[in-house]
Structures are given as structure tokens and as C-alpha cells.
Amino acid sequence: MRDLGIRVLIEGVNLQRLLLGLAVTARIAFIAVAFSMVLGVPFGILMTRRNAALRFLCRFYLEAMRIIPVLVWLFIFYFGLARNFHINLSAAAAAVLVFTLWGTAEMGDIVRGAVTSLHRHQYESAHALGLSEVQLYLYVIIPQAARRLVPGAINLTTRMIKTTSLVVLIGIVEMLKVGQQIIESNFLKSPTAAFWVYGLIFFLYFILCMPVSRLSKRLERRWQS
Amino acid sequence: MTDTMILDRLNAVKPAEERGAPLLEISHLRKEYDGVPALRDISLRIDKQEVVVVLGPSGCGKSTLLRCMNGLERIQAGEILLDGGVLTTEKTDWRLIRQKIGMVFQSYELFPHMTVLENILLGPLKVQKRKRKEAETAARVLLERVGLYEKRTAFPRQLSGGQKQRAAIIRALVMEPEIMLFDEITAALDPEMVREVLDVMLELARSRMTMVIVTHEMQFAKAAADRIVFMDEGEVVEDSPPGDFFVKPKTERARRFLNIFQF
Amino acid sequence: MGYMVDTAFIVKFTPLYIEAMGLVLELCFFGVLFSLIIGLFCAIVRYYRIPVLRSAAGVYIELSRNTPLVIQLFFLYFGLPRVGITFDSFTCAVTGLSFLGGSYMAEAFRGGLEAIGRGQIESGLSIGLSRSQLVRYVALPQALAVAAPALGANVIFLLKETSVVSIVALADLMSLAKDLIGLYYKTNEALLMLVAGYLILLLPLSGLFRFAERRLRYAGFGN
């Protein structure tokens, strides 16, 4: 190859900068996933309650999060909050907030599915033993439901990692943005830089998500049979 | 072809002079699953117009034998001949062979997205490329014979188990096969529906259809079979007329098997 | 909050939004169409374990499912032209959507095909059906019925995924909203219309699929 565009990746601090960008991406994903997993559990349990008003509210929240694209939510929080409430969220904070709101809804639905898949008798026999509501969940329901929700939760994690790629559209300096900068500064020197840089980013996302989704598939297969 | 001609053809009892000529011959058949032998060394001859009932404890290989006859299982050694032609070569076109060998399964396996009539016509129209009118007439004649003509537009889920199995028999019969294989076709049925299916088979036997039947219905075996083939552990242990087999079985294994059915 | 919505602004820019919605629908239509073709092809190739093609389909599905559309589009639109492969924006977006959607559709079809029992295939074989006849008359109709809800969900998914195509310079709903916010500072109106635009596209579709799914379940085959 004449211009050896791939060299752009190893020249100077380019690779280091890309990896730092990856770290920003990963941090956003990690924080959002952690919050979602934690908040999703109580939200999911709320969804299984009999109270009709409560159920409707939860359902409405879940459906709203689902039907509207995450990127639209990102716009609403990033642009809308600043405009109306003069809350100037940094782009990264807006991203974490939106991904957490969305992730909590999805995680909640996974928890709901796992909890309702348990047999009624489990509740009845726990009540018969005189366990309190909190004890019921702590000792009986959650340990049993946990196993059923692990594959779904892992799967959600890969979806959330992929979703972090959206933040380039609200201008956070992360992997993609760094990539753009590298490409621009090398535009004359190595015209094929874009191919290699975006190729690498593509690959980085892939090796971030693939093992996780493999794991989720394997667990799903093993635990369902 | 007129209706009456089709009717005559389908209802005709096959001429007696054909009897006794070999139709299906199996020699030294061996079948393994991952190195574990399921059929050890089977040799068996089925003559034209003969009704052979295969008996044996579960796991003895009788269903596997039936499936080998229809090419649903690969065999490791031996030969199967139909009408003198070898079926077990690499070049065997099972599509052609299977049109001559009808098979009915324990779990009916009607196609759930098709009506009874569509199920029955699929083979004649798409495989044999017969004319729709002729195939429909043939289907009607057969459906009337088993009392299912009113159900022709029903979907399988709307039928009882016995009705489903009768429809499945017609699906195989309408191809006008030379031999019919029945794989425990009453095993999944409620007791009160077993009879209606056995009656259909008995009638087929009387019209001299060549049949190989795997079943656990001893009374039916006595009534319908020309020959009983008793299998155990992948081998043919006994091959005798029902009169002999049920009255004075030759082997200890057959005696033990028959005792299970006695109270 | 003491803030009036500028209705005149909304009226003025509604035609632009409608145009952008049209673009989104068009992208989604072609994306879904090609996704279905790719997905069906991959599912059949894997179902019949056709050598080479089967592994290729497996690699494609892994790549497609484990990378975000944004990155796929960047690579297609900015990366590939640098090595001599050029797309216009629309083709690029449709290619990206199809690349992404194909694997999701393949998984949906696969689920449908796997739900068909071995006995169904054997009984098809026993009346002499050929492989292609088996697919056409026995496997596909049943697989489609099983896969329908997942296929519907994928259509919704792809429609939502179109929201990122502004990065390949298409004037979709997102880029329109962003422009209006930047040019006029009419944030609320622009966002309101953005949400309305997506809801108008997504709600009827999602309702339709739910209705169809329920009908399908009641009419379910069941053996």
C-alpha cells in the first residue's frame, strides 16, 4: 500500500488518545449500567404490585422510554433542561442521566419478568411462614429471580455499551470524537486515515460487546434447559 | 378419469396372484447411534399384500427399523431392496422411493397451517404433479371411507387425536404407496379413540395393502397380522405367524414379553 | 413555567418536519426490506448448515449485533471512500440499516425455524417433498407465524435506529431539530415537534403489531 494509512494508528500518541477516548466511553457506560442495575430492581418490583395506579405509572414510564429513541431523549435532556430550567448539564452528565433512565426502565422489565415467572406458591408459602413483605423479597423472591434475570441483564449491558456511541451527536469528547480529530489532523499526510481509524473503533466496540453477548447467550441456554 | 374409476381403483382389493412376491427385502442391516448399535444384524422380507406387525419392548429398535425403511435414518451396513431395486446406494433418490412408501407417525405430524384437505393434497399436487381435480376426487373417496369428509376444511387443531391420525393415514394413502409403515400410531391417543384408528388399519389390511405396523396393541396384532416379527435389543428374535407366536412362543424373551401384557 | 409555546413557529416548520418524517419512513422501508432479505438468507443458510456460507453468516451476525449503527455508518460513510468505495448519504444509511437489521431479522427467523419440530420435517420428507418444497410449504409458513412478533419488534427497532442518520448528512428529524435549536433557539418547539414526529411514526406501528400479535396468538396453530 502506498500511503500506509494504517500507520496513523501508531504514530505519536494517536493510539493512546483513542484509548483515552475509549475510557471516556467506557466510563459513561459503566456508570449508567451500574445505576440501572441497582435502580432497576426496585422499579421491577414496583411493576409487579397490584396497585393499578402504580402499575399504570410504571408501565407508562417504561413504554415512554421504549417508544422514543434514546437519542431523542438525549436531545430532550441536553437541550431541553438547559433551556427551561437553566440546568446546564454537561454533555457527559446528560448522557449518564438518559442512559440510566432508559436502562432502569429496561432492567425493571427484566426484573418484572423474572419475578412474575416465579410460582404463586412461593409467595403463599412465604406468607404462611409469617415472613414480612421485605423479608419475602430479600430471602425468597430475589435469590430465585436473580438467576433468571442474569442473561437479560448482561444482554442489556451490551445494548447500553453500544448506545454510548450516540454521545458523539451531542459532542462529548470520546472515542469517536478523538477519531475525528486524528483524521482531520492527518488529512493531507495520510488520506486513508479515516478507514483505519473508524475500522479500529468498529473493532474496539466489537471486542467490547462480543464476549459479553456470548456470555449472555451461553447462560441463557444453560439456565433455560 | 371418472369418479367411479378412481373409486374402483382405490377400493379395489388387490388381485390374489400378486401375493407372495417379495416387496421389501432387508439384509444384514446395521444401524448405530454414535457407535452404540441400535439394530445389529436385521434381515427381513416383506411380501406383497402381507401385513407384518413388529412387536417388542420399548427401545428394542422397532421404530428405528421402520425409519430406516423410509430413509429417515442413515444405516451403517446392509441393504434394503424395494421391488428388487437397492435403496441403500449413494445415488438413491429418496424422494421417488418415499412416494411408494407411505409412513404414519405417532404424533400425527399434520401440517398445522393447512386444512385437512390441503394436508392431503400437498403430496399429490406438489410431488406427484397430479391434476387437482383427480387428486381431489381421490382425497374425497378416501376421506369418506374413514368418515372425515365433513372435516376436510378443518384445521388440525380443531380435530380430535383420532381424527388427526385418520387424516394422517389418508395423507399417506392418497399417494397410492406400495407399502405403508405405521409407527405406534395409536400410542398417543386417548383409549376411546384407539379403536377408530385401528378399524381403519384393519380395513386396509383386508384390502390387501402391504403394511408394516409397529404397535403395542396385542389384540389388534392378533387380528390383523399375517406375521409377527418380535424384536429385542436390536435383533429379530422371532418371526412367526400370530397363531404360533401368541400361543407358543419359541423363545424365553418372547414369553417374558407376552407375560407383561397378561394379568 | 410561564413559557408560551410559539404556535406560529410550529406551523411554519411543520412542512419541514413532515418532509423529514417522509425521509425517515423511506429509510426504514428500504432498511427493513433488505434486512428481511439478508435475515432470511442467513437463517436458511444456517438452518441447513450449508458449509462456508453458514460460517460467513455467523461472522456477519456477530459483527452486526456487537457494533453500534453509529460506528457502522461512520465506517461506511467516512472510512470506505478513503479506500475507493463511495456511497451517497441515502445509500449509506440504507446499507447501514440493512447491515444492522439483517442480523436481527436472521435471529428472529432462526427462532421461528427452530420452533418447528423434527417430526414436521420428517412427515414432509415421507410424502416425498424436496428440500426446497419443505422450506416453502412446511417450514417457512410455520416459522413466519412464530417469528412474526420478533420481526415486528425489529421493524420498530430499525425505525428508532434511523435517528442517528444525521451523521451521514441526511436531513432527518434529528438534524432538523438540531438545526432549529441552533438557528432560532426555539428549543421547546423543536423538541416538541421532534417527539411528536417520532410518536406519529411509531405509535400506530407499535399498536398495529400488538394487535396483529394478539390475533395471531388466538389463531395459533397448536397441534
Contact (Cβ atoms closer than 8 angstroms) between residue B238 and residue B230: yes
How far apart (Å, rounded) are the C-alpha atoms in residues B27 and B42? 6
Weakest-pLDDT range from A180-184, B135-139, C31-35, C215-219: C215-219
- Cα separation of C135 and C141, whole Å? 8
**Residue B235: exposure state from Cβ atoms within 10 A (0-12, 13-18, ≥19):** middle
Q: Are C115 and C220 in contact (CB under 8 A)?
A: no
Alpha carbons C140 and C39: distance in angstroms, whole number: 13
Q: Which residue of A has its CA nearest to C160?
A: A69
pLDDT by residue (tens digit) across C66-125? 999 988 888 888 888 878 888 888 999 999 999 999 999 999 999 999 888 889 999 999
The share of chain B scoring above pLDDT 90, in percent, equals 56
Chains that touch A (3 or more CB pairs under 8 A): C
Report residue C2's pLDDT band, with 50, 70 and 90 as the boundaries.
very low
Mean model confidence pLDDT for chain B: 89
Q: Which of C74, C163, C188 sits opposite A176 (nearest CB)?
A: C74
Q: Do C79 and A80 touch (CB under 8 A)?
A: no
Report chain A residues whose CB lies below 8 A from the CB of C166.
169
Q: Is B1 on the interface with C (CB under 8 A)?
A: no
C contact chains, 3+ CB pairs < 8 A: A, B
**Cβ contacts of residue A112 below 8 Å, gap of 6+?**
A44, A45, A47, A48
Q: Where are the alpha helices (DSSP H) in C75-186?
A: 89-114, 118-126, 131-133, 140-161, 173-184
Given pLDDT bands bounded at 50, 70 and 90, which one contains residue C5?
Answer: confident
Q: Do B171 and C141 touch (CB under 8 A)?
A: no
Instruction: Tell me which residues of chain A have a C-beta less than 8 Å from any C-beta of chain C.
Output: 5, 67-72, 75-76, 79-80, 82-84, 158, 162-166, 168-169, 176, 179, 183, 191-199, 201-202, 205-206, 209-210, 213
Measured distance CA(B199)–CA(B221) in Å, rounded: 12
A210–C187 C-beta distance less than 8 A: no
Closest CA of chain B from C144, distance in Å = 11
Would you say B64 and B73 are in contact if contact means Cβ atoms under 8 Å apart?
yes
Q: Is the model more confident about A85 or about C148?
A: C148
| From B126, B128, B155, residue closest to C137, measured CB to CB | B126
Torsion of CA C145, C150, C153, C158, to 10 degrees: -110
- The candidate with the shortest Cα–Cα distance to A74, out of A178, A192, A137, A165, is A165
pLDDT category at B12 given cuts 50, 70, 90 is low
Name the residue facing C130 among B95, B107, B110 (closest C-beta): B95
For the domain made up of A5-224, give the CATH fold: MetI-like fold (1.10.3720)
Residues B37-56: what's their mean pLDDT? 92
Residue B232, strand partner residues: B235
Sheet holding B77-82, edge to edge: B36-47, B22-33, B77-82, B85-86
Segments of chain A with pLDDT less than 50: 1
**B98 in reach of chain C (CB within 8 A):** yes
From B113, B123, B155, residue closest to C127, measured CB to CB:
B123
Ranges of H-type helices in B56-148: 62-69, 94-100, 116-122, 132-145
In this complex, which of C117, C126, C137 lies closest to B103 when CB atoms are compared? C126
Chain A residue at shortest CA distance from C63: A206
Check residue A108 and give its pLDDT. 94
Residue located via cell numbers 478507514: A195
Partners of residue B182 on adjacent β-strands = B104, B213
pLDDT of A200 reads 85
| A181 contact partners, CB below 8 Å, separation of at least 6 | A17
Burial code (b: 16+ CB inside 10 Å, e: under 16) for C94-124 equals bbbbbbbbbbbbbbbbbbbbeebeeebbebb
Q: How confident is the model at residue C219 (pLDDT cuts 50, 70, 90)?
A: low
Shortest distance between the Cα of A205 and any Cα of chain C, in A, equals 6
Judging contacts by C-beta atoms under 8 Å, the chain C residues touching residue A156 are: none
Instruction: For chain C, give every domain's residue range.
Output: 7-218
Grid cell for residue C66: 456487537
Mark yes or no for CB contact A205/C67 under 8 Å.
yes
Question: What's the confidence (pLDDT) of residue B87?
Answer: 81
Q: Is B101 in Cβ contact with C221 (below 8 Å)?
A: no
- The pLDDT of B131-150, averaged and rounded, is 93
pLDDT at B157 over 60: yes
Best of A175, A203, A206 to disrupt the C interface by mutation (most C CBs within 10 Å)?
Answer: A206
Q: Does B154 touch chain C (CB under 8 A)?
A: no
**What is the CATH architecture of C7-218?**
Orthogonal Bundle (1.10)
For residue A67, what is the nearest residue in chain C, using CA coordinates?
C202
Chain B and chain C touch, per 3+ beta carbon pairs within 8 A? yes
Q: Mean pLDDT score of chain C, rounded to an integer?
A: 88
Q: How far apart are CA C190 and CA A47, in angstroms?
A: 33
Element (H, E) at C5: none
pLDDT for res C221: 54
The pLDDT confidence band at residue B16, using thresholds 50, 70 and 90, is: low
Mean pLDDT of B19-47: 89
User: What is the pLDDT at residue A85?
Assistant: 77
Q: What is the mean pLDDT of residues B212-224?
A: 91
Q: Band of the pLDDT at B13, cuts 50, 70, 90?
A: low
Angle formed by the axes of helices C7-47 and C187-218, nearest 10°: 40
Give the DSSP letter of residue B178.
Answer: S
State the count of interchain CB pairs (< 8 A) between A and C. Answer: 116
End-to-end CA distance of chain B: 54
Domain positions in chain A are 5-224
For C70, the closest of A67, A168, A195 (CB atoms) is A168
Residue B59 reports pLDDT greater than 90: no
Residue C210: predicted pLDDT: 87
pLDDT band at C223 (very low <50, low <70, confident <90, very high): very low
- Residue C163 pLDDT more than 50? yes
So what's the pLDDT on residue C137?
93
pLDDT value at position A1? 46
- pTM score, whole prediction: 0.80
Domain borders along chain B are 3-12+21-260
C positions 88-117 inside 8 Å of B (CB):
117
CA neighbor of B114 nearest in space, from B159, B146, B147, B72: B159
pLDDT at C1: 46
Do the Cβ atoms of A213 and C191 come within 8 Å?
no
- CATH fold, domain B3-12+21-260, is Rossmann fold (3.40.50)
Does the distance separating the beta carbons of A80 and C191 come in below 8 Å?
yes
